[in-house]
Amino acid sequence: MRIVVLVKYVPDIDADRRFEDCRVVRTPGEGTLNELDENALEAALRIVESLDDDARTAAEVVALTVAPEQGDLALRKAFQMGVDRGVRVSDDALAGSDYAGTAAALAAAVRRLEADGPVDLVITGMAALDGLGSVVPALVAAELGRPALTFAKKVALTDGVLEVVRETDEATETLSAPLPALLSVADTANTPRMPNFKLIMAARTKAIEAWTLADLGLDAALVGDAGARTTTTHAAPRPARPEVELVQDKGSGGKDLAEYLIRHDLV
Amino acid sequence: MTNRTVLVLLDPAAEVRSSVLELLTIGRDLGRVEVVTLESPSVEALARLGTHGVETVHQAELPAAVRGDARHLPAVVAATLAAAVRRTDADVVLAPSTFAAKEAVALAGHALGAGVIIDAAGVTEDADGRIVGTKRVFAGSWDTTSVVTTDVALLTVRANAVVPKPADAAVATEVEGFAVPVDAPLPAVTQRVPVVRDAARPTLEEAAVVVAGGRGTGGDFGPVEDLADALGAAVGASRDAVFEGWFDRYVGQTGVTVAPRLYIGAGISGAPHHRGGMQASQVIVAVNADPEAPIFEICDFAVVGDLADVLPQAAEVIRAHKAAR
């Protein structure tokens, strides 16, 4: 069993997230592993732990990211949770990639990993907490020609068949597909484990493989600004809200609230 | 107004919800609006589409293997949208920002080699006639503008982007079938249980007013529902409250992201996760017993007090106000 977990380095949700020249600023020290990718890592590790002894020994979990060098922070966190291998795809030509460009680079890296042996499962989080588009998993599946089982809240793998339960806005669905497949997990799928002390120590020095587009055999015209089909032309912080009108409830707080709504034509 | 063709996704096709009415309203400003469905629209839906100026509904005729529940899989919806664009030579595709529709739109863009904007808060055109999408990102703290640089533009649009309004004149709506080839590898749908909607309340995704309850409710959502009923609002919760089992759907950046005209958070502290799901709301009101709650930093009006006292009193005044109108 070989599993590739797609992880992303994103600005810390508590940091001052911002744009410069219409691009998200990713400064070292203010970024982190996308929290929702911890659920993906947890799902991968649990699948491996559920295998019998021989299969578990032969199994491999690879964390893969497309990021500049600081993306290593995300891979270090993945090592702390227990993945075997970390791969980062970095290339100046990737700057400005849209959803399709990002998916093309991730899929090319998965295909490169397949040169050493089949990848049975690609696992992702449900979304990245910077863009929140949540469409890259489905696009990677399309690039790889695999069925996509996304937003899983329950995951089971039995005899090479993956079965998930998911809740969409319209329905609760049970989906199944034989491997190879792509799985994205919701934040309700599991509780990610805490980093293990022994692994924390080992993660500091574990080698990270850095690949370029040339290593992937991917045409630079398909990714980054060159391949993007949308251009962000403007990015500005929203104006601050006016100061809050704060009322202490001394018996008429509800009346005050209702009057505020009526005064502002919100009723 | 140009001679563009704008396709709007209607899935399911039993009813035309307010989010779709918004898309039809946006679409009419961009060109001629047609609708794409995966199944036969209901009589009510057709009548509604007619009042919104839709003359043509393109209904997918799918291969036998993907009829039934599989027709709603994003890869199938994507194949349908791509085939509909090719058939009609459409310039723009609009869909609501649900998780499934987002995937479908992105996959259709992939198949067509076209630009995609997900979660637009507004759609317009620039001086060169290119489609422009505005977005609110980073928990509503930044506004961005993006231009689609390909001939075809596909967008998912968040609810409450515009106020829906019918066309100047109603039209007769015709349904035309069209064959859709599906060659993507699909998972099997072994079970599908549609969500039962509360007919008395708007849905969380689409509501113009949302009242949400958190840990401060202690599990009693009665006051939250009472105020929501007085306002005709949808009810939501914080992630904590859902994980406690007190309510079923949460507002948050990984739950339902809302941007209503009015959001009222009761007993919600305002952790980053929750703020990411509601901070783009136009007017934010908070009720919390803790004067240090972070939600007070991002709201327009706040009451420091017990929600069990404040909400029912507000509901009573609002009901009296409505009755007097």
Residue A6 covered by a domain: yes
**Distance from C-alpha of A30 to C-alpha of B284, rounded to nearest angstrom:** 28
Residue A122 covered by a domain: yes
pLDDT tens-place string over residues A141-184 = 999 999 999 999 999 999 999 999 998 888 999 999 999 999 99
Contact B272 A259 (CB under 8 A): no
Q: Is B318 on the interface with A (CB under 8 A)?
A: yes
Domains in chain B with CATH codes: 5-179 (3.40.50.620), 209-324 (3.40.50.1220)
Residue A194 covered by a domain: yes
Contact B118 A146 (CB under 8 A): no
Specify whether the CB–CB gap between B64 and B181 falls below 8 A. Answer: no
CB pairs under 8 A between A and B: 260
**Distance from C-alpha of A145 to C-alpha of A181, rounded to nearest angstrom:** 9
Q: Give me the residues of B, 212-241, that contact A with CB < 8 A.
A: 231
Residue A73 covered by a domain: yes
Mean pLDDT estimate for chain A: 93
Pick from A170, A191, A233 the residue to mutate for testing the B interface (most B CBs within 10 Å): A170
- The beta-carbon neighbor of A13 closest among B261, B272, B321 is B272
**Distance from C-alpha of B275 to C-alpha of B269, rounded to nearest angstrom:** 10
For tokens 């998780």, the residue is B99
Residue B257: the pLDDT is: 86
**Distance from C-alpha of A180 to C-alpha of A220, rounded to nearest angstrom:** 27
A261/chain B closest Cα distance in angstroms: 9
| Residue A252 with chain B: CB contacts under 8 Å | 313
**Distance from C-alpha of B287 to C-alpha of B211, rounded to nearest angstrom:** 11
Pick from B11, B17, B119, B146 the residue to mutate for testing the A interface (most A CBs within 10 Å): B146
Nearest Cα residue in chain A from B136: A238
Amino acid at A210: A
- Kindly give the residue spans of alpha helices, DSSP state H, lying in A50-98: 53-58, 72-81
| A136 membership: H or E segment, kind and range | helix A136-144
Q: What is the pLDDT along chain B (325 residues), one digit of tens a residue?
A: 568 999 999 999 999 999 999 999 999 999 999 999 999 999 999 999 999 999 999 999 999 989 899 999 999 999 999 999 999 999 999 999 999 999 999 999 999 999 999 999 999 999 999 999 999 888 778 899 999 999 999 999 999 899 999 999 999 999 999 999 999 999 999 999 998 887 888 889 889 999 999 999 999 999 999 999 999 999 999 999 998 999 988 999 888 889 899 999 999 999 888 988 898 899 999 999 999 999 999 999 999 999 999 999 999 999 999 999 8
Q: Which domain holds residue A16?
A: 2-222
Contact B74 A150 (CB under 8 A): yes
B176/chain A closest Cα distance in angstroms: 25
Contact B150 A229 (CB under 8 A): yes
Q: How many residues does chain A have?
A: 267
| Residue B293 with chain A: CB contacts under 8 Å | none
For A144, residues 6+ apart whose C-beta sits below 8 A from its C-beta are: A107, A110, A111, A122, A180, A182
Residue A240 covered by a domain: no
Residue A133: the pLDDT is: 86
CA separation (Å) from A209 to A70, A82, A90? 13, 17, 10
Residue A7 covered by a domain: yes
Longest alpha-carbon distance in chain A? 71
CA separation (Å) from A87 to A14, A90, A94, A98, A119? 27, 10, 16, 21, 14
**What's the mean pLDDT in A7-33?**
81
Backbone dihedral angles phi then psi of residue B150, each to the nearest 5 degrees: -100, 170
**Is B146 marked within a binding site?**
no
| Residue A151 with chain B: CB contacts under 8 Å | 99
Residue A28: the pLDDT is: 64
**What's the mean pLDDT in A29-56?**
93
Q: Residue B191 pairs with which residues in a beta bridge?
A: A174
Residue A229 covered by a domain: no
Collapsing DSSP states into helix, strand and coil, what is residue A98? coil
Specify whether the CB–CB gap between B28 and A186 falls below 8 A. Answer: no
Rg (Cα) of chain A, in Å, rounded?
22
- The beta-carbon neighbor of A138 closest among B74, B191, B321 is B74
pTM given for the model: 0.92
Specify whether the CB–CB gap between B6 and B31 falls below 8 A. Answer: yes
Contact A231 B147 (CB under 8 A): yes
Q: How many residues does chain B have?
A: 325
| Residue B310 with chain A: CB contacts under 8 Å | 249, 253-254, 257
- Locate B35 and state its tokens: 């609708």
CATH of the domain at A115: 3.40.50.620
Q: Is B322 on the interface with A (CB under 8 A)?
A: yes
Nearest Cα residue in chain A from B242: A188
Nearest Cα residue in chain B from A187: B254
**Number of structural domains in chain A:** 1
Residue A54 covered by a domain: yes
Contact A247 B143 (CB under 8 A): no
**Distance from C-alpha of A120 to C-alpha of A112, rounded to nearest angstrom:** 14
Per-residue b or e along A23-37, where b marks 16 or more CB atoms closer than 10 Å to that residue's CB: ebebeeeebbbbbbb
pLDDT tens-place string over residues A62-115 = 999 999 999 999 999 999 999 999 999 999 999 989 999 999 999 999 999 999
